[in-house]
């Protein structure tokens, strides 16, 4: 492997690790805020305790998010110096703004954690959640803007290798930005809802059948329903956007080779790499045209319009299908749960339902990984679509291999210790015990 | 002021901020470990953790701000430093990552263990040493630049007297800044026993700081005469730094005004740090990168400055709130509220 391959590997590994914690970091604060608010309003200690317990877990994941994010931030310069030198001229503004969002969140998180009992009016403490929510979501907004720029670069003209007519605002508000930001945010909130529901459902499966866990599941399934629907709708608008502005990415995900109208949707299947024939797939007529253009007669651009050396790897088809599959699973679970709650004939907290909710946690995290790998691998071979290839951007330093292994060891260590600490945190002190004690926490 | 100077001033101010807050943090790690070794953990431990707990993440953002900002204002630095610093940069990152996350694990999650304390103490000294190599490299002579790549000359770096002088200065400064701050904090907390220990750390910490900074001056003279001459031209900055140091030590020795003493230490480092920075110009990296040719375009530069001002309007009130709640709140400092 050469420096390029190692750099790719290290980037993939770091981002894949960071994104788990980043997603949790973006999503959980909203739920802490909601729970604390309900707790104060209804004067219900269950919800107040939820806010406290979630916060404690949250701090641990934020810590890993912060240190791995710091790694990416610096690694971008260490591994892709050419890219940063070039793109730094156009998109450093959102990256710079992101650090202010971090600052803002970090400051208020520090205050929030150590002021549970400081204010006589509990709403003041609740107010502190707002800057945390805003800061976390703004971090996601700004970094996703950078990523959207890599997909649809604009805001500059390239004349003989030199950048002119720079417009940082246009670079930030590029065509890929709206759908991407919306999908990243909604999927992060959705993931948080399922992770929190997972913890409560898991406790119920272990026999802690109590009101605290039920309330947590109810809250998270209700919000989960809305968020799953939103994520699918916005995901659909992402696909519409791709069909228009980045057709090769969509075509690669759908194994769509010939430009055509009334294009069928292919689910699963196997591709013959020489003939590009698909076997064993479920084919839904017209569905791709419907998905991509919202019209059965719409024309969808196929991969054959592009030179072969600009095709993304075709395995992204499976990533896309799996993400969409999980999306519908995450919609079905809350629907089923609400249906069972409303139709009083069944017990909505039966073992199967709870197991289904528990599975939603890892599934949603998995969908985040699938989605990002689809989005990033689908952009290949470009690092800056149409302008710079990944192979032209990598460092020339020959020692990336060593650093890859160093970071691999780091992430392994962090991952294991983080899981241990989290599980000990919740196991050693079940909610029931804490409700009894009701002492100062943290 | 031209854009390039605005940019470097802003970044330098934030790097100075990082230097102070991170030194307090790094040094505290060392003292926590040392305290354990000599059996006074229960004395100075609480003082340290009460200050550190709410602010550790903020400390980290100062660093992120600096390296994101420098690539924004001076994109060429990404190419030179980015290519050359792969190994030292990665080592520093890994140490930072271990330190930050284990701090959170131990503090919010599990019980503290000895191993954790050792890691916390050791990284507190190793990280400043690793980060300080950036300053060393910027003096020139440690990179070989060809048409399509930049290589770090590890051997030169390892056998350079200047490079070791900088490492020594970094470590001793960290210990000195940290102990003077913690002395002030312990006094504020009216914790007499912790105060006595930390005060003696502060007094002893001053000696190696001054010796190693002299050592840096001498080594720089041999390594980069041009920079050294620029420094001599700014002699009054370094003179003021020395005066501030003397006042700080005098106050601590006389057991009074520990707050003022710490402000004097901050001034000591401000004068030295800005004197060093100003005399380093016009080069960012001798002799390859000049401030004026590596600055970003006007449009982006202006946008960054506007963003910066807007960001400060948001940050300063928040930081003031943080400090009022935790640093200047007597009840919290004494550990009387949660
Ligand atoms: C819980 C997570 C999750 C779920 C259930 C879904 N997605 Fe997704 N998807 C993401 C999480 C995600 C993501 C991690 O947020 C991505 C990666 C990059 C991005 O912009 O968002 C993404 C990317 C992404 C893209 C590529 C966007 C681009 O590269 O510009 C498309 C077209 C879709 N998604 C479409 C969908 C559809 C039609 C779904 C319907 C079921 C769906 N996603 C469910
Ligand atoms: C956090 C969300 C992101 C994730 C999870 C992610 C993930 C990935 C993955 C999996 C690849 C590998 C593609 C391949 O197989 O070659 C990749 C490529 C890359 N991404 Fe992203 N990406 C994210 C956002 C960004 C952003 C915002 C940037 C830049 C500022 C960026 C920079 C890069 C670079 C430089 C590459 C090229 C390396 C390569 O092709 O392997 N990524 N990313
Ligand atoms: C290549 C892409 C990325 C880079 C360079 C990056 C950079 C960073 C950095 C430097 C930090 C540490 C900040 C600190 O010190 O507090 C961080 C943390 C974080 N990042 Fe990422 N990030 C990337 C992708 C993402 C994405 C895609 C999201 C959201 C979907 C995200 C959300 C977060 C969050 C929530 C944190 C935790 C910080 C906190 O909660 O305070 N990041 N990231």
pLDDT of residue B338 exceeding 60: no
Which residues, in sequence order, are bridge partners of residue B143?
B152
d(CA B277, CA A117): 45
pLDDT in tens, A140-163: 999 999 999 988 888 888 777 777
**Nearest Cβ partner of A102 from B61, B84, B299?**
B61
List the Cα angle B26/B30/B33 in 5-degree steps: 140
Give the SS3 label for residue B328.
coil
List chain A residues with CB under 8 Å of B79.
81-82, 84-85
Distance from C-alpha of B163 to C-alpha of B167, rounded to nearest angstrom: 6
| pLDDT of res. B328 | 64
B86 touches A at CB < 8 Å: yes
Give per-residue pLDDT as tens, A296-308. Answer: 777 777 777 777 7
Nearest CA-CA partner of A63 in B307, B59, B11: B59
A198: pLDDT confidence band, cut at 50, 70 and 90?
very high
A81-113 vs A45-79: helix crossing angle, rounded to 10 = 160
Pairing label, strands A282-284, A265-267: antiparallel
Question: Which residues between 117 and 176 in chain A have a beta carbon less than 8 angstroms from any beta carbon of chain B?
Answer: 117-118, 131, 163, 166-169
Give yes or no for B279 touching A (CB within 8 A).
no
- pLDDT at residue A442, rounded to an integer: 32
Could you tell me the distance, in angstroms and rounded to a whole number, from the CA of residue A5 to the centre of ligand 2?
13
Strand, helix or coil for residue A166: coil
Q: Is the pTM of this model over 0.90?
A: no
- ∠ CA A341-A344-A348 to the nearest 5 degrees? 40
Rg, C-alpha atoms of chain B: 20
The ligand placed nearest to the CA atom of residue A224 is 1
Residue A261 contacts residue A289 (beta carbons within 8 Å): yes
Torsional class of A377: left (φ above 0), alpha (ψ -120 to 50), beta (otherwise):
alpha
Measure CB to CB from residue B307 to each of A93, A109, A166 and give the nearest one: A93
Q: Considering only CA atoms, which of A21, A144, A358, A425 is closest in space to residue B97?
A: A21
Question: Is the pLDDT confidence value at B230 over 90?
Answer: no
Model pLDDT for residues A67-111, shown as the tens digit of each residue: 898 888 888 888 887 888 788 788 888 888 888 888 888 888 888
pLDDT in tens, B268-322: 888 888 888 888 777 777 777 777 777 777 778 788 888 888 888 888 888 888 7
d(CA A51, CA B44): 32
Integer Cα distance of B274 and A342 in angstroms:
68
Say what percent of chain A tops pLDDT 90. 22
A43 by DSSP, 3-state: which? coil
Q: CA A358 → CA A186, A330, A364, distances in Å?
A: 20, 11, 11
Has residue A438 got a pLDDT over 60?
Answer: no
Sort strands B283-285 and A278-279 into parallel, antiparallel or unpaired: unpaired
The C-alpha atoms of residue B204 and residue B191 are separated, in whole angstroms, by 20
What's the pLDDT at A368? 94
Instruction: Give the bridge partners for B207, in sequence order.
Output: none
The three-point CA angle B189-B324-B206 to 5° equals 55
Q: What is the pLDDT of residues A426-435, one digit of tens each?
A: 776 666 666 6
Q: Say whether the ipTM exceeds 0.85.
A: no
Find the CB nearest A88 among B75, B89, B319: B75
Q: What pLDDT was estimated at residue A441?
A: 38
* Among B residues 294-333, those touching chain A with beta carbons less than 8 Å apart: 296-297, 299-300, 303-304, 307-308, 311, 314-315, 318-319, 321-322, 325-326, 332
Cβ neighbours of B53 in A, within 8 Å = 110, 113-114
Residue pairs spanning A and B at CB distance below 8 A:
224
* Own/partner pairs, B155-164, CB within 8 angstroms, 24+ separation: B157/B133, B160/B136, B160/B223, B161/B219, B161/B222, B161/B223, B162/B136, B162/B216, B162/B219, B162/B220, B162/B222, B162/B223, B162/B224, B163/B133, B163/B136
CB neighbours of residue A330 within 10 Å: 26
The residue that leads in pLDDT, A390 or B20, is: B20
Tell me the mean pLDDT in the region B326-333.
65
A205, A364 contact by CB (below 8 A) = no
Residue A348 half-sphere exposure toward CB, CA atoms < 13 A:
18
Tell me which residue of B39, B36, B68, B32 sits closest to B53, measured CA to CA: B32
Nearest CA to ligand 1 atom 18: A372
| Confidence (pLDDT) at B113 | 66
Q: Which of A221, A139, A149 is nearest to A184 (CA)?
A: A139
Q: Which listed ligand is nearest to A246 at the C-alpha? A: 1
Which distant-in-sequence residues (6+ apart) come within 8 Å of A349 by Cβ? A204, A209, A214, A217
Dig out the tokens for A41 from the structure: 């309003």
Give residue A268's Cα distance to chain centre.
23
Beta bridge partners of A300: A260
φ/ψ region of A164 (left if φ > 0, alpha if ψ in -120 to 50, else beta) reads: beta
B147 touches chain A (CB under 8 A): no
Q: Max Cα separation, chain B?
A: 62
- SS3 state at A209: coil
Q: Model confidence at B198, in pLDDT bands (50, 70, 90)?
A: confident
Is residue B7 a contact partner of residue B104, using CB atoms and an 8 Å limit?
A: no
Contact A102 B64 (CB under 8 A): yes
**B28 vs chain A: nearest CA distance in angstroms?**
18
d(CA A328, CA A28): 22
8 A C-beta contact, residue B98 and residue B119:
yes
Length in residues, chain A? 442
CA A140–ligand 1 middle distance (angstroms): 15
Within 10 angstroms of residue A343's Cβ, the number of other Cβ atoms is 9
Distance A270 CA to ligand 2 centre (A): 26
As a whole number, mean pLDDT of residues A106-132 equals: 83
Query: What pLDDT score does A439 carry?
Result: 46
Q: Are B280 and B138 in contact (CB under 8 A)?
A: yes
Residues 91-110 (A) with a CB less than 8 A from some CB of B: 92-93, 95-100, 102-104, 106-110
B267 token code pair: 């001034």
Residues of A in contact with B307 (CB under 8 A): 93, 96-97, 100
- C-alpha triplet A329, A359, A197: angle, nearest 5°: 95
pLDDT at residue number B28: 83
Contact criterion met (CB below 8 Å) for B100 and B55: no
According to the model, what pLDDT value does residue A191 have?
Answer: 95
Q: How many CB atoms lie within 10 A of CB A121?
A: 9
**Mean per-residue pLDDT for A411-438?**
76
Task: Name, in order, each residue with C-beta under 8 angstroms of A359's C-beta and a sequence gap of 6 or more.
Answer: none
d(CA A262, CA A134): 43
| N residues, chain B | 338
Name the one residue in this structure whose structure tokens are 């290839």: A389
């Amino acid at each position: 492997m050469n420096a390029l391959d190692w750099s790719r590997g290290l980037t993939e590994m770091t981002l894949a690790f960071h994104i788990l914690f980043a997603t949790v970091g973006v999503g959980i604060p909203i739920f802490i805020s909601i729970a604390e608010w309900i707790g104060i309003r209804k004067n219900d200690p269950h919800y107040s305790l939820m806010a406290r317990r979630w916060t404690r877990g949250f701090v641990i994941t934020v810590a890993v998010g912060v240190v791995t994010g710091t790694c990416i931030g610096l690694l971008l310069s260490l591994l892709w110096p050419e890219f940063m030198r070039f793109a730094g001229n156009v998109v450093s503004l959102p990256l710079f703004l992101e650090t202010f969002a971090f600052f803002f969140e970090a400051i208020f998180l520090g205050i929030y954690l150590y002021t549970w009992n400081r204010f006589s009016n509990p709403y003041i403490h609740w107010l502190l959640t707002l800057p945390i929510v805003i800061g976390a979501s703004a971090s996601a907004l700004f970094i996703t803007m950078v990523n959207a720029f890599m997909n649809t670069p604009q805001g500059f003209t390239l004349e003989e290798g030199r950048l002119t007519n720079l417009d940082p605002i246009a670079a930030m508000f590029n065509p890929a930005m709206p759908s991407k930001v919306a999908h990243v945010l909604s999927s992060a909130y959705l993931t948080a809802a399922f992770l929190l529901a997972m913890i409560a459902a898991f406790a119920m499966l272990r026999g802690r059948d109590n009101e605290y866990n039920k309330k947590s599941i109810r809250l998270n399934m209700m919000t989960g329903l809305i968020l799953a629907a939103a994520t699918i709708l916005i995901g659909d608008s992402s696909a519409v956007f791709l069909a228009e502005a980045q057709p090769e990415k969509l075509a690669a995900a759908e194994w769509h080779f010939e430009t055509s109208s009334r294009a069928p949707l292919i689910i699963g299947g196997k591709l013959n790499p020489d003939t590009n024939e698909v076997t064993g797939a479920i084919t839904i007529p017209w569905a791709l045209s419907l998905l991509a253009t919202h019209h059965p007669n719409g024309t969808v651009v196929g991969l054959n319009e592009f030179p072969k050396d600009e095709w993304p790897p075709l395995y992204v088809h499976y990533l896309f299908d799996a993400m969409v599959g999980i999306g519908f699973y995450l919609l079905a679970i809350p629907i089923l749960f609400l249906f069972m709650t409303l139709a009083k004939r069944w017990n909505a907290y039966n073992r199967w339902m709870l197991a289904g909710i528990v599975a939603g946690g890892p599934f949603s995290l998995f969908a985040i990984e699938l989605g990002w790998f689809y989005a990033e691998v689908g952009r290949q071979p470009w690092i800056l679509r149409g302008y710079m290839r990944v192979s032209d951007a990598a460092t020339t330093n020959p020692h990336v291999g060593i650093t890859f292994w160093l970071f691999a060891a780091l992430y392994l260590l962090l991952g294991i210790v983080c899981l241990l600490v989290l599980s000990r945190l919740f196991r050693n002190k079940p909610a029931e015990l804490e409700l009894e004690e009701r002492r100062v926490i943290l | 002021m031209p854009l390039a100077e605005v940019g470097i001033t802003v970044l330098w101010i934030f790097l100075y901020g990082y230097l102070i807050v991170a030194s307090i943090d790094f040094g505290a790690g060392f003292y926590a470990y040392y305290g354990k070794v000599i059996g006074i953990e229960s004395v100075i431990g609480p003082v340290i953790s009460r200050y550190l707990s709410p602010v550790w993440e903020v400390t980290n953002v100062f660093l992120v701000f600096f390296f994101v900002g420098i690539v924004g204002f001076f994109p060429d630095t990404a190419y030179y430093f980015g290519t050359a610093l792969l190994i030292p940069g990665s080592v520093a990152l890994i140490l930072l990552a271990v330190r930050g996350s284990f701090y959170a694990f131990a503090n919010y999650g599990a019980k503290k263990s000895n191993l954790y304390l050792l890691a916390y103490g050791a990284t507190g000294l190793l990280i400043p040493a690793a980060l300080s190599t950036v300053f060393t490299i910027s003096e020139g002579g440690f990179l070989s630049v060809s048409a399509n790549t930049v290589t770090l000359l590890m051997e030169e770096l390892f056998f350079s007297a200047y490079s070791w002088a900088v490492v020594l200065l970094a470590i001793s400064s960290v210990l000195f800044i940290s102990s003077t701050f913690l002395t002030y904090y312990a006094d504020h907390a009216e914790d007499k026993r912790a105060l006595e220990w930390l005060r003696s750390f502060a007094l002893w910490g001053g000696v190696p700081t001054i010796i190693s900074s002299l050592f840096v001056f001498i080594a720089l003279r041999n390594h980069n005469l041009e920079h050294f001459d620029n420094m001599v031209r700014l002699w009054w900055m370094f003179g003021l730094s020395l005066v501030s140091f003397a006042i700080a030590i005098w106050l601590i020795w006389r057991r009074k005004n520990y707050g003022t003493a710490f402000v004097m230490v901050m001034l000591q480092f401000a004068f030295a740090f800005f004197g060093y920075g100003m005399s380093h110009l016009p080069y960012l990296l001798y002799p390859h990168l000049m401030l004026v040719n590596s600055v970003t375009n006007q449009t982006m530069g202006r946008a960054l400055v506007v963003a910066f001002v807007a960001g400060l309007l948001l940050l300063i009130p928040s930081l003031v709130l943080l400090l009022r709640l935790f640093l200047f709140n007597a009840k919290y400092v004494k550990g009387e509220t949660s």
